[in-house]
């Protein structure tokens, strides 16, 4: 009786699949991750990345599709005055600046302050605080609420108004920056006094005002309040402020320098065409 032959199979040694280095991950941008290409994962990366080591910073396919969807939604915002290419650049700038939060967590106010200070040369602390407050403001159930972080729509809306807003939208943003307590009113005893306090140097008063160094500040405050029609009994609402700025545009930056200089704005907008933040389309 013959013994059965043992089957010998020539198994090929497992081939080493290529590794792809990507600077983008599903959690946050900026962390290098290694992705091993397998036949069961053909849609994770573009076709060119499945054949060789591809070191260009291209996100995986699922992240790319998600970003394209977010760019499309952001470009269609009613207050967005940027085209699709510029919106794509600003979305990538948002991800680069918001190192920890990303799309879900948002940008910290401190990160937004550094961005405004470094790119648009906005140096006034009250202006930076007001812009962060205006960018993080959302309306929940008809009530204005200020969140702890700045999300992408608020980021795009604020930059769009700062760089390309018309007179009415700029007046609305300026009011939100001036409204410190977010009650919808500019009051004489709170906003006006606090914002105009730095206009007069009370530590070095003029000759003849040594006894009362705040006299010049009070006179200047009364002079400015005459233009705004603000008194202790009559605060200024947002609609009144917008109508007043339409009649007297110089009042837009009177109480506080909110908007950047034209040179800084043009310099920042010139960065949209550089290859540092390429278009994702």
Asked if residue 111 belongs to a domain, the reply is yes
Longest C-alpha distance within the chain, in Å? 128
Same domain (yes/no): 25, 108? no
Q: How far is residue 274's CA from residue 119's CA, in Å, rounded to a whole number?
A: 15
Q: Is a pLDDT exceeding 90 seen at residue 253?
A: no
Say which residues have a Cβ less than 8 Å from residue 82's Cβ, sequence separation at least 6. Answer: 75, 90, 156, 160, 164
Tally of domains within the chain: 2
**For residue 113, what are the domain limits?**
65-264
The model's pLDDT over 28-55, given as tens digits with 9 standing for 90+, comes to 333 334 444 344 444 443 333 333 333 3
Which of 7, 31, 59 terminates a domain? The answer is 59
Same domain (yes/no): 54, 72? no
The model's pLDDT over 62-71, given as tens digits with 9 standing for 90+, comes to 577 778 888 8
Asked if residue 3 belongs to a domain, the reply is no
Q: How far is residue 86's CA from residue 88's CA, in Å, rounded to a whole number?
A: 5
Same domain (yes/no): 91, 174? yes
């Amino acid at each position: 009786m013959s013994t059965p032959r043992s089957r010998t199979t020539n198994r090929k040694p497992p081939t080493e699949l290529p590794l792809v280095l990507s600077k983008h991950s599903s959690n946050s941008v900026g962390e290098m991750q290694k992705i091993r290409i397998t036949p069961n994962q053909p849609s994770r990366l573009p076709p060119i990345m499945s054949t060789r080591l591809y070191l260009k910073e291209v996100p995986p396919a699922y992240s790319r599709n998600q970003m394209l969807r977010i760019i499309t939604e952001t470009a269609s915002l009613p207050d967005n005055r940027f085209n699709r290419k510029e919106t794509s650049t600003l979305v990538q700038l948002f991800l680069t600046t918001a190192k920890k939060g990303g799309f879900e967590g948002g940008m910290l106010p401190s990160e937004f302050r550094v961005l405004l200070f470094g790119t648009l040369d906005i140096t006034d602390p009250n202006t930076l605080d007001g812009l962060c407050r205006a960018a993080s403001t959302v309306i929940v159930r008809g009530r204005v609420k200020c969140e702890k972080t700045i999300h992408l729509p608020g980021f795009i809306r604020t930059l769009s108004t700062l760089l390309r807003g018309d007179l009415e939208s700029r007046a609305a943003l300026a009011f939100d920056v001036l409204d410190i307590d977010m009650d919808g009113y500019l009051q004489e005893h709170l906003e006006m006094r606090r914002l105009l306090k730095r206009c007069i140097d009370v530590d070095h008063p003029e000759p003849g005002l040594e006894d009362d160094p705040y006299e010049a500040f009070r006179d200047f405050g009364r002079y400015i309040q005459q233009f705004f029609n603000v008194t202790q009994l009559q605060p200024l609402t947002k609609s009144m402020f917008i109508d007043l700025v339409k009649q007297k545009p110089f009042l837009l930056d009177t109480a506080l320098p909110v908007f950047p200089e034209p040179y800084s704005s043009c310099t920042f907008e010139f960065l949209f065409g550089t290859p540092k933040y390429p278009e994702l389309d």
